Amino acid sequence: MVTTMIMQRMSVAMEYGVILKWLKKEGDTVKQGESIVEIFGEKNEFELESPADGVLLKILCEVDDEIPISEPIAYIGKRGEKVPDIMPKKLNKAIAATHAVSKTPTVSAPVTKAVSKPDAKPVETRLLEGKIKASPRAKKKAEEMGIDLTLVVGSGPDGRIMEKDILAAQSTPQITVTDDRKVKQVAPLTPLRRTIARRMTQSAQNPHITMITEIDMTEVVELRNEINERVDKKHGIRISFNDIIVKAVADTLERFPKFNATLVGNELIMFDEVNIGVAMATDDGLIVPTVRDANKKSITEIALETKDFGKRAKKNELKPEELTGSTFTVSNLGPFNVDLFIPVINPPETAILALGQINKKPVIIDDKITIRSMMMASCAVDHRVLDGAPAGQFLASLKESLENPFMMKI
């Protein structure tokens, strides 16, 4: 009996896997539990194991194919057995045709309207179909009108595209642009970059509002120096400003449960755990390991955990469970000399905090000019769930904690 090997879900947020390397070839004998293929899914690499003993009869996917969860990727059975005539859906099926670039570009009209034909379904739509949330009527209408679903913002539940959205999109002409610019290089996106692209596209479908404030970090600077005198000797690490901020955010979230939540349909699910995602830059892209139960940990415990994350992230050694489960994200670009930026929410969370660098500035306190260490902070929230007033209250509460940090568990 032929056994179907499928693309397995290796983490909660994983929706598809990218084939990185086949460890076996067709015709090889395999044993149950033996690693067959390396995949990339939701910002991490995994090995999928054979579900049965037998022979690897047929490999259905090539390296770099993007395969949705539960789709078949190989067949295992007895030598000579007939395999089913079923092939997996491939999200990147049309990439090569879509993005092929001629070495000698041709000159054409600067801007042309896309021709609306029943059989001229956009390549991008074919590429992403099944991942875009759209009603059957909307998909049919989009095909009839030559509308690219990737360019339509849905008005239905969870951003689902409805037929009325397609009709509304008709008034916005879709265009294709060609020119005679010479191409230096075409670089395909890495699996991690593709994951980030999909997540950010998902986030952009939901309305954001952003609140901004300036926080006096002078006492945090003093607290950090005090803690590091002890922690450096005992643990051989140094506390970062971000470690202190993560602790302050976790404590603040206990008082603002709607910021520690996710929206599912018409229900706001507020979590008991406060799990802070800490954005980290790597050579391949941004990853967000999770500090679980951060509100129950000391600043030192958070520092030890984040330092460990940072070391293992560079070696691609983070575990799947360490990259999922966050309920709120902190993104700090201060180390890159950024003063202020507007963050994009990490779905399915409802809010994210962005931090800039700490600078010494002249400020007025009690009608006197003095030098203080100041930091800009911005908080983006999902406007479907939260309004400006609670976002402002959250930032004000966080500001109060950071300007009086000596009460925190160190």
Reported as a single tens digit per residue, the pLDDT across 319-333 is 878 888 899 999 999
pLDDT score for 172: 53
> Residue 365: beta bridge partners?
368
Reported as a single tens digit per residue, the pLDDT across 299-322 is 999 999 999 999 998 888 888 788
Contact assessment for residue 207 and residue 384, using Cβ atoms and an 8 Å cutoff: yes
pLDDT score for 336: 92
**Sheet strands side by side (includes 29-30):** 3-6, 72-77, 54-59, 29-30
pLDDT, mean over the chain: 83
Strand segments, DSSP code E, in 145-207 are 175-177
> Residue 47: beta bridge partners?
38
pLDDT-derived band of residue 119, with 50, 70 and 90 as boundaries?
very low
pLDDT score for 13: 66
Q: What share of the chain has pLDDT > 70, as a percent?
A: 85
- Long-range own/partner contacts, residues 155-164 (CB < 8 A, 24 or more apart): 157/265, 157/266, 158/133, 158/265, 159/133, 159/202, 159/205, 159/206, 160/133, 160/134, 160/135, 161/132, 161/133, 161/134, 161/135, 162/134, 162/135, 162/137, 162/138, 163/135, 163/137, 163/138
Is pLDDT above 50 for 348?
yes
At residue 405, the 3 state secondary structure works out as helix
pLDDT score for 389: 94
Tokens 């955990």 correspond to what residue?
305
CATH of 3-77, one of 1.10.3720.10, 2.40.50.100, 2.40.30.10, 1.10.2020.10: 2.40.50.100
pLDDT-derived band of residue 190, with 50, 70 and 90 as boundaries?
confident
Contact assessment for residue 256 and residue 267, using Cβ atoms and an 8 Å cutoff: no
pLDDT score for 381: 95
pLDDT score for 101: 42
Tokens 């709120």 correspond to what residue?
328
Average pLDDT over residues 373-393: 94
Report the candidate in 408, 409, 405 with the shortest Cα–Cα distance to residue 222: 405
Amino acid 399 reads K
Is pLDDT above 60 for 73?
yes
- pLDDT greater at residue 101 or residue 16: 16
pLDDT score for 179: 61
Distance CA 325, CA 262 (A): 11
Give Cβ neighbours of residue 184 (< 8 Å, ≥ 6 apart): none
pLDDT score for 154: 75
Highest mean pLDDT among 15-29, 173-187, 364-378: 364-378
Domains 102-185 and 206-407 share a fold: no
Is pLDDT above 60 for 56?
yes
- pLDDT greater at residue 21 or residue 205: 21
Average pLDDT over residues 346-356: 93
Query: Which residues carry out catalysis?
Result: 383
- pLDDT greater at residue 186 or residue 110: 186
pLDDT score for 105: 43
Residue extents of the structural domains in the chain: 3-77, 102-185, 206-407
Average pLDDT over residues 42-54: 84
Q: What share of the chain has pLDDT > 90, as a percent?
A: 47
Report the candidate in 79, 153, 90 with the shortest Cα–Cα distance to residue 126: 90
Reported as a single tens digit per residue, the pLDDT across 252-298 is 999 999 999 999 888 999 999 999 999 988 877 788 899 999 999 99
Distance CA 90, CA 16 (A): 10
Report the candidate in 342, 368, 353, 358 with the shortest Cα–Cα distance to residue 403: 358
pLDDT-derived band of residue 123, with 50, 70 and 90 as boundaries?
very low
pLDDT score for 10: 76
Is pLDDT above 80 for 380?
yes
Reported as a single tens digit per residue, the pLDDT across 74-103 is 999 999 888 888 888 887 654 443 444 434
Distance CA 98, CA 255 (A): 49
Q: In the CATH hierarchy, which fold is given to the domain comprising 102-185?
A: Dihydrolipoamide Transferase (4.10.320)
Is pLDDT above 50 for 248?
yes
DSSP 161: B
- Which tokens go with 39? 């995949």
Superfamily of domain 206-407: Chloramphenicol acetyltransferase-like domain (3.30.559.10)
